[in-house]
């Protein structure tokens, strides 16, 4: 079992003819993902990648020939919101947006549409998700993953990889790892992903990686306390970050007291979550709980 994604998920790639899109299409296929086709407006009828995947002008056209369960978006930020909207309008179940730098205003519009739809959006500005030894959508390096019992969710890309690597190295392995993205407005919150992990019998423990900015970790901590009966290990990046400075991610900026790493760690602990002292201790902390 896994969440959101498995080896049978039919995947479409928006922006497949771009350099990122075609490179990662190859990487995904190599990992075992069932990539069936791509979309680039104006390039319908062509083929892309060495696997000669068909390219369509729109998702609408692609759906006439393929059953599409998920789409992944590799398009420039100024067009990315429109690409997400197209996927929502075509009722694609799972939408993953890798693009970084989408204007917040565009994402507010997307989020309002999303809330009225049946689609799930992961990202933007995220590495995507991977179900170990089955399928990946996005840019997570596949070779670091081994099947196991830990679910991972994170606001940061390379910290997701770091967590996967540590959890695999202590011998636990992962079910699914989800990078939810570092922007102020994202499709799926920590709670949204935790709900999926709660229902997944194979997921015995959860690693939840947050950072400064916003209150998502605090909301998630309270939700865990009320609703979740599985051990959670957390890590919050940015304990040394100065106030008012945007630390790389658009979402990683402290504007209220509750948004500091210190405040979040306090709330997480109060809600019964084990917080790793340093980034090096994520794996061993999980091992001590479910090893």
Partner 1 sequence: MKIHEYQAKEILKKFNVPIQEGYAIDNSKDIDSTIKKVQADFNSEAVVVKAQIHAGGRGKGGGVKYCPTFEDAQDAANTILGMNLITHQTGPEGKMVNKILITEALDIEEEYYFAITFDRSKNSDVFIVSKEGGVDIEEVAENSPEKIIKSWIDDSPNALEDAVKEIISSLSLEKFENVEQMFKDLYRCYIESDCSLLEINPLVSTTNEEIIALDAKVDIDSNSLFRHPEIAAYHDKSEEDPLELQAAEYGLNYIKLDGNVGCMVNGAGLAMATMDIVKHCGGEPANFLDVGGAANVETIKNGFKIILSDKNVKSILINIFGGIVRCDRVANGVIQAVKELELDVIVVVRLQGTNAKLAKKILDESDIELISAETINEAATKAVEMIK
| Binding footprint of partner 1 on the chain (CB under 8 A) | 27, 77-78, 101-105, 108, 111-112, 115, 127, 139-141, 143-144, 154-159, 161-162, 165, 182, 184-185, 209, 211-212, 214-216, 219, 235, 237-242, 245, 247-252, 261, 277-281
Contact between 159 and 236 (Cβ < 8 Å): no
Query: Quick one: which H or E segment has residue 132?
Result: none
The span from the CA of 189 to the CA of 242, in Å, is 25
Q: How many CB atoms lie within 10 A of CB 50?
A: 10
Token reading at 8 = 């049978």
Catalytic status, residue 249: yes
| Cβ closest to partner 1, residue 63 vs residue 222 | 222
Residue with tokens 């229902």: 199
The smaller minimum CB distance to partner 1, of residues 53 and 254, is found at: 254
Q: Contact at 8 Å (CB) between 137 and 128?
A: yes
CA distance 200 to 216: 22
Whole-number minimum distance, CB 168 to partner 1, in Å? 12
Q: Which is nearer to partner 1, 89 or 199 (CB)?
A: 89
Which residue among the candidates 24, 60, 196, 249 is catalytic per the annotation? Answer: 249
Return phi, psi of residue 233, to 5°. Answer: -110, 135
Residue 106: both structure tokens together:
């565009």
Calculate the CA dihedral of residues 3, 8, 9, 11 and round it to 10 degrees.
150
Closest to partner 1 by CB, 33 or 62? 33
The minimum distance between CB 290 and partner 1, in angstroms, equals 21
> Residue 80 or residue 87: which is nearer to partner 1 going by CB?
80
In this structure, the strands spanning 10-14 and 94-97 are unpaired
Residue 230 Cα distances to 101, 150, 169, 180, 197, angstroms: 35, 10, 21, 20, 9
Which residue do the tokens 């090893």 mark? 291
Would you say 26 or 93 has its CB closer to partner 1? 26
Q: Which residues contact 56 (CB under 8 A, 6 or more apart)?
A: 37, 38, 39, 44, 62, 65
Active site residues: 249
């Amino acid at each position: 079992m896994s969440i959101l994604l498995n080896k049978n998920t039919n995947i479409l790639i928006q922006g497949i003819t771009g350099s990122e899109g075609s490179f990662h299409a190859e990487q995904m296929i190599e990992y075992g993902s069932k990539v069936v086709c791509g979309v680039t407006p104006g390039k319908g009828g062509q083929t892309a990648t060495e696997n000669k995947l068909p390219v369509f002008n729109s998702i609408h056209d692609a759906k006439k020939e393929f059953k599409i369960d998920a789409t992944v978006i590799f398009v420039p930020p100024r067009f990315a919101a429109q690409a997400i909207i197209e996927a929502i309008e075509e009722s694609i179940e799972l939408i993953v947006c890798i693009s970084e730098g989408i204007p917040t205003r565009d994402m507010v519009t997307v989020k309002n549409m999303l809330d009225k739809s049946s689609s799930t959006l992961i990202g933007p500005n995220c590495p995507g998700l991977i179900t170990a030894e089955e399928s990946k959508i996005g840019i997570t390096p596949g070779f670091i993953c081994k099947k196991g019992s830990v679910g991972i969710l994170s606001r940061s890309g390379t910290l997701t990889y770091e967590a996967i690597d540590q959890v695999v190295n202590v011998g636990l392995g992962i079910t699914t790892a989800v990078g939810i993205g570092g922007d102020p407005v994202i499709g799926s919150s920590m709670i949204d992903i935790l709900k999926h992990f709660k229902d997944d019998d194979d997921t015995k423990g959860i690693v939840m990686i947050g950072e400064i900015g916003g209150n998502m970790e605090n909301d998630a901590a309270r939700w865990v306390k009320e609703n979740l009966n599985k051990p959670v290990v957390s890590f919050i990046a940015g304990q040394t970050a100065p106030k008012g400075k945007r630390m790389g991610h658009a979402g990683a900026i402290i504007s209220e007291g509750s948004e500091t790493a210190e405040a979040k760690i306090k709330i997480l602990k109060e809600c019964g979550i084990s917080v790793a002292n340093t980034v090096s201790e994520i794996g061993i902390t999980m091992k001590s709980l479910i090893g």
